[in-house]
Amino acid sequence: MRLRRTTVAACAALLAVTALAGCNRGSDSKAGSSGKVGIDLPRSDSDFWNSYNSYIEKGVKAGDVSALPRTNSQNDIGKLVANVQSFANEGAKAIVMAPQDTGAIASTLEQMAKKKIPVVSVDTRPDKGPVYMVVRADNKAYGTKACEYLGEQLKGKGKVAEFEGDLSSINGRDRSEAFAACMKSKFPNIKVIPLVTNWDGATASAKLQTTLAADPDLNGIYMQAGGVFLQPTLALLQQKNLLKPPGTPGHITIISNDGIPEEFKAIKAGQIDATISQPADLYAKYALYYAKEALAGKTFQPGPTDHDSTIITIPNGLEDQLPAPLVTKDNVDDASLWANQLGKS
C-alpha cells in the first residue's frame, strides 16, 4: 500500500489499549506475523452478505490468511460474542467480524484488546471499543447520494418511503440521518415517510403496504439494503400493479443500497432506477488484508491509499473508507462493478 511504514516499538505496546488509533506509522516487525484468524460472518439471509461470504472463502482458499473454521452469528449479538470468545479460546491471533449491533459489542472489543487480539470490523463501525481497522464505505454518503438522486428525479416534489435499517447499527443511523438532513436542506417539498424495518424484508413490505393505503400518491422509495428489501418490495408493487416503467405515469422511483446482481437485473428491467454499490469484494479483500497486517504488527496512518480509498481517524481506531459508486441504467453494465464479475473467475 502507498502508506508510510517505519519501526515503532511503542505501537505494539499500545495495541491492547488504543487499537493503534494513536500510531499512524507502520512497523515492519515480523513479531506475531503468523497465526490463525477467526472470521465471523454476520448473516446468511441477505444476498449482499452471501456474496461477501463467498469472497471471504475465496480469499481463505487462496491463502490470504490462515483461518479457523468460519462462524455465522446470524444477526444475533449474543452469538457473535460467543463466537468471538470461542475464537480467542482456540488461539486466534486476529479476528474479523461485522457486528450488526454496533453498540453492544464494546465490552467484547475491550476483552480482545486486553488479550492483544486485534479486531477488524467490516461494514459496521463499533460505537465503542478498540478496533485495529474498520473496513467500510462512507454510509453518510449513501444517504446523501440516495437523497440527491431521488430529489432530482422527482424534481423536488412528492412523497418518499424510506426503509430504514436497524437504528441500533451505525450504518442504519448514518444512512437515515444523512438522508433526512439532505432532504430537509435540498428538497423541502418532498415528504419523507421513514419506516423502521430492522433490516427485515417482511417488515418493510408490510409497512409499505400500509403506507400505500394512506399515501396512494407515493412516488419514491429509498431501500437502505437491497439484499433484504428488493424481492419483497417488487413482489408487493407487482401485486398492486405499481411497477410502472421509468418515464410513464405512476412510476415509483426506487433507489437502493448494496449493488447485488439482482438489483442490476431490476435496473435493466426498469423495475428500480438505481442502487449504490457496496463493494462486497473489497470488503472481503481488505478485511483479510488488514487481519494479515495486524498479525505482522503493522500499523497505518490516516490518508489516501493505493486502492482509491481514504483512511480516517475514528474515536476508537482507524477506518478505511472504500468507494461506493452510484449505479443507474447508464453504467449498470460496467465490468468493474463487483456484481458484474461474479462467476467470471
pLDDT for 101 equals 87
pLDDT for 170 equals 85
pLDDT for 14 equals 33
Each residue's pLDDT tens digit, 248-292: 999 999 999 999 999 999 999 999 999 999 999 999 999 999 999
All structural domains of the chain, each given as residue ranges with its CATH number in brackets, are 9-137+280-323 (3.40.50.2300), 139-277 (3.40.50.2300)
pLDDT for 185 equals 98
Distance, in Å, from the CA atom of 33 to the CA atom of 270, rounded to the nearest integer, reads 50
Helix (H, G, I), strand (E, B) or coil at 55: helix
Provide the pLDDT confidence category of residue 3 given band limits of 50, 70 and 90.
very low
Each residue's pLDDT tens digit, 259-268: 999 999 999 9
**Strand-pair partners of 137:** 322
pLDDT for 10 equals 33
Rounded to an integer, the average pLDDT of 301-329 is: 95
pLDDT for 343 equals 64
Q: What is the mean pLDDT of the chain?
A: 89
Q: What percent of the chain has pLDDT over 90?
A: 82
pLDDT for 344 equals 62
**Residue that the C-alpha cell 399515501 belongs to:** 215
| ∠ CA 326-332-334, rounded to 5° | 95
Pairing of strands 326-327, 317-322: unpaired
Q: Does residue 320 contact residue 302 with C-beta atoms inside 8 Å?
A: no
Q: What percent of the chain has pLDDT over 70?
A: 90
Q: Does residue 323 contact residue 275 with C-beta atoms inside 8 Å?
A: no
Distance, in Å, from the CA atom of 27 to the CA atom of 9, rounded to the nearest integer, reads 8
Each residue's pLDDT tens digit, 61-118: 999 999 999 999 999 999 999 999 999 999 999 999 999 888 899 999 999 999 999 9
